[in-house]
A and B are shown apart, each in its own frame.
Chain A
């Protein structure tokens, strides 16, 4: 019952059945009534004709001549059409040659009164007649006409068969039409569901199809929601970026002041505090700016993004002549924020360039519902105890200037997406950072 389709189909089918049955019944009743009516009228006409053929007798009674009967069937026994004349008190006065035996005497009819009846297998029509012969004495008779109803019944059966056939045909045609109309009417809804699925899976940025007027407000609302969600996220991150900018320039100045010659203890204290502030700012900004997994995020094609980063790093590590090997399918798309991916891969690749021996390999592939990223280098690799590396402010060595934020920031991003990070040994000889991200 939770499907619109089932609801509509059930409701329309029930309505259809109800009206078809009602229509069929009323058509049947109407036909039966009109058939009965015409039967009665035919029999009445026959009675009039019979009366017209009556001949007076010298003693004033009503008599029918058997050779002048208006319907041939009356003259033949077993024809199914019978006529009889009953006197007021004398019982049967005359019977047509077709009349069978043991006809019960009917009730006397008032003069001019008709009485039509349908018995088990025959119709009976009675008519009260007053006849005044030559002796001027009015006599009261009841004329009876009976006809077998077999023909009438078979006519009715034939009609019912035809009716059933036509109504059944109409019902089938209507059901078919209704099904088609429903499929057609519900098609935009099915398409909407599909497009929404695409937006969610990242194959599509927004709902684009042309929808009927009733659905327009819904699709527009959904699109507005998607865009708003994205905008809000970028506004939020821009605000944080601005915060970083405004905080860091004065921090740079303080840093410069701290480097100037003055009292050693004083200088050290200032430097320490400034460094601490810097780490706090970096750490909090990084955490806050990480977008994390969002269902409405636009998917990012990984390869061009990685190519940009490696081109930039090739410039920075110009002297090391770092060789990048990329093993990334051109079609691999990842539902993640581009800024987060830049951060994640930028840090990992930067580390690989910095601590590696000049060969860096990045491989990415989809594994079921996850994306696996591996950044490998041919450097010294990670120490046995990798736990401290993943804390902020720690570096694998102190050979190069750095902020020590790389792996810690990467870990934060991976966690924000509900992914996993492992430090392993690469077949290239150095470290291998293995990141799995959902989606």
Chain B
């Protein structure tokens, strides 16, 4: 999952990005509102964390423009936005949410709280209600980052988890290899479609060793799709 962090304070920005990377997110950052808007519109991000007090373009303006699709080649964006606000007044929270943000967090905050909110927003954007994504016999606990198939706990690596989480969150949607790699890797040079194929193959072997479930469908030339129904 690719997260955009728009925060003008360098120390806090670095800290948030670091925590996000430690959690397996791809973190993207911007130091002012204009740069933040540009990145939010032109980069394939899954979620944005936006501070309200930003130079050049305030957080509220950024969100409004993002939602309107002003000056963007991709049109209005529905990407979930979590606002960070130092002004813990309800007026500013309400303003932010009214402008199009999806949730807020008051500074100073605890990192686990931020991560929990992000997970909840990502889930919500994918149409999932609970923290555990359940599809057929497969249960992916996004809080503990653990996988269960039926009663069996399955060990997966951090990269495998990311691929699975992305596919499962967007269950039913066709995800191209390039989209997957864009959302999973920070840098272009890391993106290698062969690696994605390897992860998919390994995931299939771990989840469905007997080939009875076929949770991940390969659509030739298009990409992959999670095919099991959501619980």
A residues near B (Cβ < 8 Å) are 241, 244-245, 247-257, 259, 274, 278, 282, 285, 289, 308-309, 311-312, 315-316, 318-319, 338-339, 342-343, 345-347, 401, 403
CB pair A309 B15 closer than 8 Å: no
CB distance from A322 to the nearest CB of B (A): 14
Query: Contacts of A278 on B, CB cut-off 8 Å?
Result: 108
Query: Contacts of B90 on A, CB cut-off 8 Å?
Result: 309, 342-343, 345-347
- Chain B 8-62 interface residues, beta-carbon cutoff 8 Å to A: 9, 11-12, 15-16, 19, 53
Q: A256-B15, A319-B124 are in contact. Are A339 and B89 (CB under 8 A)?
A: yes
CB pair A401 B87 closer than 8 Å: no
Q: A259-B111, A319-B129, A401-B113 are in contact. Are A244 and B98 (CB under 8 A)?
A: no
**Chain A CB within 8 A of B133 CB:** no
The size of the chain B interface, using a CB distance under 8 A, is: 31
27 A-B residue pairs with CB within 8 Å: A241-B87, A241-B89, A245-B86, A245-B87, A248-B108, A249-B86, A249-B107, A252-B12, A252-B15, A252-B108, A253-B9, A253-B12, A253-B15, A256-B16, A259-B111, A278-B108, A282-B88, A285-B88, A289-B89, A309-B94, A312-B97, A315-B97, A316-B104, A319-B129, A342-B94, A346-B90, A346-B94
CB distance from B90 to the nearest CB of A (A): 3
Q: A244-B88, A309-B94 are in contact. Are A251 and B107 (CB under 8 A)?
A: yes
**Chain A CB within 8 A of B196 CB:** no
Secondary structure class of chain A's binding surface, majority of residues: helix
CB distance from A383 to the nearest CB of B (A): 25
Query: Contacts of B109 on A, CB cut-off 8 Å?
Result: 252, 255
> Looking across the interface, which residue of chain B has its beta carbon closest to that of A321?
B129
Q: A248-B86, A342-B89, A342-B90 are in contact. Are A316 and B97 (CB under 8 A)?
A: yes
CB distance from B208 to the nearest CB of A (A): 30
**Complex alpha-carbon distance, A308 and B98, angstroms:** 7
Q: A319-B129, A342-B94, A346-B94 are in contact. Are A274 and B87 (CB under 8 A)?
A: no
Central interface residue in A251, A278, A289, A312, by most chain B CB within 10 Å:
A312
**Chain A CB within 8 A of B110 CB:** yes
CB distance from B112 to the nearest CB of A (A): 8
Q: Apart from A245-B87, A308-B94, A339-B89, what 17 extra A-B contacts exist at CB < 8 Å? A: A247-B86, A248-B108, A252-B109, A253-B12, A255-B108, A256-B12, A256-B15, A278-B108, A282-B88, A289-B89, A312-B93, A312-B97, A319-B124, A339-B91, A342-B94, A346-B94, A403-B106
CB distance from A75 to the nearest CB of B (A): 115
Query: Contacts of A309 on B, CB cut-off 8 Å?
Result: 90, 94
CB pair B124 A318 closer than 8 Å: yes
**Complex alpha-carbon distance, A309 and B93, angstroms:** 9
Query: Contacts of B86 on A, CB cut-off 8 Å?
Result: 244-245, 247-249
**Complex alpha-carbon distance, A245 and B104, angstroms:** 15
**Chain A CB within 8 A of B120 CB:** yes
CB pair B94 A315 closer than 8 Å: no
Query: Contacts of A403 on B, CB cut-off 8 Å?
Result: 88, 106
